[in-house]
Amino acid sequence: MGFQSHALAFTILFVNTFFFKYMLLGVDSATPSIVSDKEALIAFKSQLSFDTTNLLSTWDVNNSSSSPCNWMGVVCSNGSGERVIALDLSGLRLTGSISPHIGNLSFLNSLQLQNNRFTVLELMANEITSALAEELGHLTNLKVLKLGRNHLFGAIPPTIGNLSSLIHLNLGTNTLHGNVPSDLGRLKSLEMLDITINNLTGILPPSIYNLSSLVDLAVASNDLWGEIPYDVGVKLPNLLIFNFCFNKFTGKIPGSLHNLTRIEVIRMAHNLLEGTVPPGLGNLPFLKMYNIGFNRIVSSGEDGLSFITSLTNSTQLNFLAIDGNHLEGVIPESVGNLSKVLSKLYMGGNRIYGKIPTSVGSLSSLTLFNLTSNSISGEIPPQIGQLQQLQMLGLGLNNLSGGIPNSLGNLLKLNNIDLSGNSLLGSIPSSFGNFQSLLSMDLSNNKLNGSIPKESLSLSSLSSILNLSNNFLNGPLPEDIALENVVTIDLSKNLLSGHIPSSISDCKSLEALFMAKNRFSGPIPNALAEVKGLEMLDLSSNQLSGFIPKDLQNLHALHYLNLSFNHLEGEVPKGGVFGNVSSVHLEGNEKLCLHFECLNSTRSGQGRRRVVIVGIITAIATLALCIILFYLLHIRKSKARSTQASEATKGQFQMVSYEELREATGNFKEENLIGNGSFGTVYKGYLREGIAVAIKVLNTQMTGSWKSFAAECEALRNVRHRNLVRLITSCSSIDFKNMDFLALVYEYLSNGSLEDWIRGKKMKANGEALNIVDRLNVAIDVASALDYMHHDCEVPVVHCDIKPSNILLDEDLTAKIGDFGLARLLMEKRGTQTSISSTNVIRGSIGYIPPEYGLGEKASTAGDTYSFGVMLLELFTGKCPTDESFRGDLNLPRWVQSAFPENLKVIIASDLLLLAGDAYVDVDDDINDEYVIPEIEHDCLATVIEVGLCCTKESPDGRITMRHALHKLKHAQLAFLKYTNGTKK
């Protein structure tokens, strides 16, 4: 029986209603014509296996002058622009396949194929947008149904189970939803089932596991859950491909899979599998891919990775991924005996320790080697330099020591090298100049010294990032910097000296340049203004001198500029980025002046003398006034308080008067009230220069307000960071009621507090909440500031009140920590002695206070980490830590822990889930199988929640540091951005 008439509507629906994108080889789809129609028909005929009546003999494929409009069953449009508009081949008893090339008949509006004997319907990779029709179940002779890579939606109709002859079913890469129908278990002849990359939910029906003829079972990248049967390898004895990755399958890895001696692909990555790797891997001689990454697989002891030895029998293995688990152990020397065709080896994100075996140099086909985020120690084996095919080397975030081997310069095909976060010593090898394909180099956070080789600054292929920050590199930079394609250069926190070369202008693609905390001297080169795409520039904490180049104001993309703590002088430009006070940091340059100040400084000698005389008189008058005020204040307040205020503001900015602040806020009108801090109210105002500011007026009648004022001044005098709200000036005066008046003047941040965004009081212009990227950026901003306060300040600073209402967002949604009213310097230096600060007062806000503070423990960096962890969990769950549902011992971290990781979606904020994107797809050429890029949103969210839980451990000793938390968040961000930009793993 052939196609029945009642199934015809479905066939016509596919061809007539939708535009097929599939193209014939050699046909330019941009210029379709009767010629392309003819070639499509010829391709269609080539897929027919039997023409019993020879009725298609008129389709003369060898006569180039023959018009298809004269062929049997073909109808063309009238006029000069002839095109095929109808095809009627009904009742011809044709057999074979309905070729997807028929989609090139772009003017076709009628297709009649009923009463034939077609057995193959292949319409892969088109633009079909439709639900699957129930009538598909009537095509009972169909053997192959390929509808993958379209835009099909709706549920899989159970009637497909009627296609008893079906051998090959491909519905992958669509938007199908609902459960997988158990009726598919009736397809007893089925050899290939592909439903990957859809939105299917629920358990995989047990009937699927009874299809003993299955060779290829692919259900990856859906929302399927449940345990994989332990005897799946017994029930499906013919399996060659088993692809279950990127779902929510639980339980253990079925040991029976390791008994399928002919299996080629086992993929179970990105699920919730636990337990150990079962024995039997040595039974798989034909295995090509083994991917169990990003589960909860465990092992313990030094021989915890011994299963790798079993894989040495798999001589065709070219992909091995065990990353993102809880595997412990030492990499066995036998790793060098793995397949000679092994191209990708993922082992990062585990608990692997010991040394990297030298035998790894025997893996001659390796293109990717990733050991990032483990506890690997020892030196980098020089034998890695023998891996001539290597394109990606990831050894970051380990405990590696010793020098960087010169042999790594032999890796001429290397695209990415990450050695960051170790304890590597010595200089950067000059052999790195041999790299011909390098896109990214990260050697940050090590102990490297010596000068930067000129070869490393001449890699024209470098197009992503060069990160050499936080080392001990010294000496001047080479005169010629030839990184014309690099986007980010980070040389901050080193000992580099000399001038900044003008050749920096040759970095035409540069968007971010970080050179802070070095010893650079001389002027800022005008050539920087030629880097038109520059967005971020940080030259702070150097010894730069001279004027700020005026042309920097012409860099329209520049939105962050930090030139603080140098020896710059002269007038500050007024245009461009300089017009936004929150984007520019110039403090610590005593000779810089604004326009009107510079005019005063250039007056005549007589004018200068007049100014001096007036200044002397003013000083005397001021001194007299101060004596009177001091006397009055002495009556009102204790001498200790006035001393405290003067000490707090010593060395700070020029203070403003009460009258100036009253004028700036319109006499502190309620309409200018924008919030309340821990010790006062906050107003929006405008200084006389027109600068928008936030003015925090302290309640001097409240106990502790003077201490808060002193603490905030002292803390902010010792810290400078782009993610800390910048203190512009302060005021310690008397108001019009002759009462004490204390105020702090900050930069104004237009997007309010993080609390406003979490509670839905603030939204984007398009009405959306913060998405995953926004929230991750906020988390990294806050973590960066705390990492700086805890680890990079000469005297560590503890904030003591981290919570969403104290996190403010600027116009670009950059987060900054504010309200240092409770801040403590962790160590107070007194002469040559050092003592630890302590207090018996519980510091912080309810819900964010670490448990040890309630037991009388002193303020600590671990306390800040706890508060950050609570804030992080609140940011991604939307759940307030003081929610009334938290009663007894239940709190936000415990509530999250109870659902993590199995029920991640239950705890994630609903508005965030609505913004989650779809999965992506690529092709793995080695396996000739669809390669699924993960639902990275799930992985990213899981990492963030895990960081939050690690920060909120009950014991302070059990918490990770802010530096560790920052590394984990940045790693999650990097992975997320790589995948969402289509990068293949």
For residue 901, cis peptide bond before it (omega within 30 degrees of 0) = yes
Whether residue 11 has pLDDT greater than 90 = no
- Backbone φ and ψ for 763, nearest 5 degrees, come out as -140, 165
The percentage of the chain sitting over the pLDDT mark of 90, rounded to a whole number, equals: 49
**503-538 pLDDT, tens per residue?**
999 999 999 999 999 999 999 999 999 999 999 999
Whether residue 23 has pLDDT greater than 50 = no
Distance CA 191, CA 850 (A): 58
Least confident of 165-174, 591-600, 929-938: 929-938
Binding residues for ATP: 696
The CATH superfamily holding the domain 754-980 is Transferase(Phosphotransferase) domain 1 (1.10.510.10)
The percentage of the chain sitting over the pLDDT mark of 70, rounded to a whole number, equals: 82
pLDDT, residue 115, reads 78
Least confident of 230-244, 248-262, 446-460, 904-918: 904-918
pLDDT, residue 984, reads 36
967 or 177: which leads in pLDDT: 177
Residue 144, both tokens: 């192959």
**599-643 pLDDT, tens per residue?**
555 443 444 444 444 455 555 555 656 555 555 554 454 444 433
Asked if 5-128 and 130-297 have one fold, the answer is yes
Whether residue 7 has pLDDT greater than 50 = no
Confidence of residue 921 (pLDDT cuts 50, 70, 90): very low
Distance CA 814, CA 795 (A): 26
Distance CA 296, CA 272 (A): 6
Q: What is the mean pLDDT of residues 49-78?
A: 81
- Those residues with Cβ within 8 angstroms of residue 669's Cβ, 6 or more apart along the chain or in another chain: none
Binding residues: 696
> Using CB atoms within 10 A of its CB, is residue 936 exposed (0-12), middle (13-18) or buried (19+)?
buried
**82-109 pLDDT, tens per residue?**
899 999 988 888 888 877 778 788 888 8
pLDDT, residue 568, reads 95
Provide the mean pLDDT of the chain.
83
In this structure, whether the domain defined by 130-297 belongs to CATH 3.80.10.10 is answered with yes
Q: What is the mean pLDDT of residues 460-471?
A: 92
**264-274 pLDDT, tens per residue?**
999 999 999 99
Q: Which of 418, 801, 810, 939 is catalytic?
A: 801
Least confident of 103-112, 581-590, 826-835: 826-835
pLDDT, residue 901, reads 77
pLDDT, residue 729, reads 81
The pTM (predicted TM-score) of the whole model is 0.66
pLDDT, residue 716, reads 64
Q: Name the residue with tokens 């021989």.
A: 303
The domain ranges of the chain are 5-128, 130-297, 450-591, 637-747, 754-980
Domain spanning 450-591 has what CATH number? Answer: 3.80.10.10
Q: Let me know if 801 is a catalytic residue.
A: yes
Confidence of residue 669 (pLDDT cuts 50, 70, 90): confident
Considering the segment(s) 5-128 as one domain, its CATH architecture is: Alpha-Beta Horseshoe (3.80)
Confidence of residue 744 (pLDDT cuts 50, 70, 90): confident
Q: What is the mean pLDDT of residues 898-904?
A: 80
**Domain 637-747 top-level CATH class:** alpha beta
| CA nearest to 514, candidates 530, 498, 496 | 496
- CA separation, residue 543 to residues 497, 523, 621, 859 (Å): 9, 9, 38, 35
